[in-house]
Amino acid sequence: MYETREHFLNIPLRQTPSPNSLRPHRLNSTLPSNSLHPTIKFKTLYKSSPKCTSHSSSTMTIISLLFTSLLLLIHPTPSASDHHHHPRRRSIHPPSIKNTPSSSDLTHQACSATRNPQLCESSLIHYPTGTPTEIIQSALTISSNNLKQAQSMSQTILESASGNINKTTAAKNCIEHLNNSAYRLKSTADALPRGDLKNARAWTSAGLAYQYDCWSALKYVNDTKTINETMSFLNTLIGYTSNALSLMMAYDVFGDKTTSWAPPKTEREGFWEVGGSGGGAPELGVLAGLKADVTVCKGGGCDYVTVQEAVNAGPDWGYDRRFVIWVKTGVYEETVRVGLEKVNVVVLGDGMGKTVITGSLNVGQPGLSTYNTATFGVVGDGFMASGLTIENTAGPDAHQAVAFRSDSDRSIIENCEFLGNQDTLYAHSLRQFYKSCRIEGNVDFIFGNSASIFQDCSILIRPRQQNPEKGENNAVTAHGRIDPAQSTGFVFQNCLINGTEEYMRLYNSNPKVHKNFLGRPWKEFSRTVFIDCNMEALITPQGWMPWTGDFALKTLYYGEFENSGKGSDLSGRVAWSSRIPAEHVNVYSVGNFLQGFPSPPALQPLVSYAATKTAAQFFRPSRYTLQSYRSAYFLCSLMVSSFMIV
């Protein structure tokens, strides 16, 4: 499958699929039972009859007393501590069953802060909207419920794709993307009642990106009515998720006064999120002194001979500790996958150029998309790596050929080398940190829709084609943000932007034909900034390259701040690039842009991939409600026991 990078087509997000059977469903006015305080229904345990014994009245008295106590415990008065809120966290609780008379006005105000206000209002008609937090929870529920239908439709495509390798690949990728989306939206539903809006926004940003990735995968094999209908359904689903994300952003930025809410804006429009000074963020890096759980080597004497075997040996959902793999010096020709369930995996090598993991998959091979070509792909959260070289040797004429692809939230990569040509490093989604790494390539060789910071890295352009002396246009980055509310972007801090020795010989022989740009907009709201970087002379005076025509030139944000070197001169930059104001540069600090990785994955709630369900099924009851359930269970047992004794 040959895949080209194209921008998100302007399919109207408000459009609904034509077949009524495929119209995104809405719940009726009855909410999921577990989103409300439960009402316990009792069957008649005792019926009076002429044959009742003399103990009947005393038995009924005991049961009545127990039943009264039970009701008091089920509906207790919340303690003062339950009303306490951290001043910087706004808890979003599950929807209640009551709407205030002004809920329609409130909904209108809130939905005006989305990119699709008409779709937002119409979808919320049968959902609780009495408070801003109810509106957000309801919007998330709508997205999650429709996501289930999209998963089912994608499975139908896979089942009908037998014998068509490209369609099978597209359907499998689509299913994987939607599963990842469901997992992230479920995590968001868990985070909102805790007031954890930063994580909620990061995870929903990823959930939205995965839904678009499914749509994009099907775009290349859209030759049947079923696929076309699925894409139409996905298009509306993307609108629902975009709405939920915009509402979260508005609540996080403006508070609970919906009259002040506004649609998401970017730095290009003068909007800067308020953050800390950025000076107190902790130093991020791979932990020192880690002891290996397993070893990998080629000549024997180790636990495993392949990296994949070692990954497979690690625990699933190991949130309580890190699983450390030491890959000793050698060249490992294999494709490695770290699944979603493999959390807190650490891969340590003996150093760049010593421990080498290599592959050559590319989109020129049947049944492969860019996503599938990665030599090393990781999805499980909390991934760490150090001392590795990961490469894709497909060559400069093989088009997309990924060396490393990451969807690992709060991942840290240090002292690693990534070698390739087009699409070397696929920073696909979520929050990633790269420290003191070496990244080589030529066409869009750092790309994706993640929130990634590259600190103290060497970014090197290498020759692009078989006859490179004729010249070329190279772009270092291609960021793919599709929605202004997504908290994603590429940040380069104190990095070197240069060419390999081989490329610099070519460049110096005829600089006019070798043009190199800092980036180009893969998607409409592409965001990339360079801060305190050293840009050598090979960077063109224009600095940035358009994708095609004027696409995204009014919506992207490409910023620079206090860079050095011959390629850093801003006087010749394109008009649609920006200079980052000094008072806002800390927006891109580790502490603000990545939230400083506030807590390690081991401290996050346990979430099982197998247990992924709709968001509505995971609203957390308050602490006193959980205590009531336990007390209710005890009293029910006591009532039954008392009856049996009497």
532 is catalytic: no
Which sign, positive or negative, has the C-alpha torsion 436, 439, 444, 450? negative
Collapsing DSSP to helix, strand or coil, 170 comes out as helix
Could you give the count of Cα atoms lying within 13 Å of 268 in the half-sphere of its Cβ? 20
Residue 470 banded pLDDT, cuts 50, 70, 90: confident
**Structure confidence by residue, pLDDT tens digits, 421-458:** 999 999 999 999 999 999 999 999 999 999 999 999 99
Q: Is 49 or 138 the better-scoring residue by pLDDT?
A: 138
Could you give the count of Cα atoms lying within 13 Å of 481 in the half-sphere of its Cβ? 25
What's the CA gap between 349 and 394, in Å, rounded? Answer: 23
Mean pLDDT of 520-543: 98
For the cut 80, the answer to whether the pLDDT of residue 13 exceeds it is: no
What's the CA gap between 174 and 226, in Å, rounded? Answer: 14
Residue 596 banded pLDDT, cuts 50, 70, 90: low
| pTM across the whole model | 0.80
Cα end-to-end distance, the chain, whole Å:
74
CATH 1.20.140.40 fits 103-264, yes or no: yes
The mean pLDDT of the chain is 82
pLDDT value of residue 55:
41
Angle at 239 between CA 234 and CA 244, to 5 degrees: 125
**Would you say 439 and 421 are in contact if contact means Cβ atoms under 8 Å apart?**
no
What's the CA gap between 257 and 507, in Å, rounded? Answer: 56
96-110, 265-279, 583-597: range with lowest mean pLDDT: 96-110
pLDDT value of residue 15:
35
Mean pLDDT of 272-294: 81
For the cut 80, the answer to whether the pLDDT of residue 138 exceeds it is: yes
DSSP label at residue 502: H
What's the CA gap between 343 and 353, in Å, rounded? Answer: 26
Collapsing DSSP to helix, strand or coil, 430 comes out as coil
Residue limits of CATH 2.160.20.10 in the chain: 294-594
- Tell me the CATH number for domain 294-594: 2.160.20.10
Looking at 444, 483, 550, 569, which residue is catalytic?
Answer: 444
Looking at 190, 381, 409, 423, which residue is catalytic?
Answer: 423
What's the CA gap between 525 and 517, in Å, rounded? Answer: 18
pLDDT value of residue 413:
98
Collapsing DSSP to helix, strand or coil, 151 comes out as helix
Tally the residues of the chain.
Answer: 646
What's the CA gap between 11 and 236, in Å, rounded? Answer: 10
Residue 22 banded pLDDT, cuts 50, 70, 90: very low
For the cut 70, the answer to whether the pLDDT of residue 279 exceeds it is: no
Mean pLDDT of 484-489: 98
**Would you say 108 and 129 are in contact if contact means Cβ atoms under 8 Å apart?**
no
Point out which residues pair with 492 in neighbouring strands.
Answer: 454, 530
Q: Is 394 or 64 the better-scoring residue by pLDDT?
A: 394
The two structure tokens encoding residue 335: 């494709």
Point out which residues pair with 359 in neighbouring strands.
Answer: 392
**Would you say 295 and 303 are in contact if contact means Cβ atoms under 8 Å apart?**
yes
196 is catalytic: no
Point out which residues pair with 443 in neighbouring strands.
Answer: 475
Measured CA to CA in angstroms, residue 102 lies from 109, 125, 480 at distances of 11, 13, 39
Residue 468 banded pLDDT, cuts 50, 70, 90: confident
pLDDT value of residue 545:
98
The share of the chain scoring above pLDDT 70, in percent, equals 75
Residue 466 banded pLDDT, cuts 50, 70, 90: confident
Residue limits of CATH 1.20.140.40 in the chain: 103-264
pLDDT value of residue 92:
61
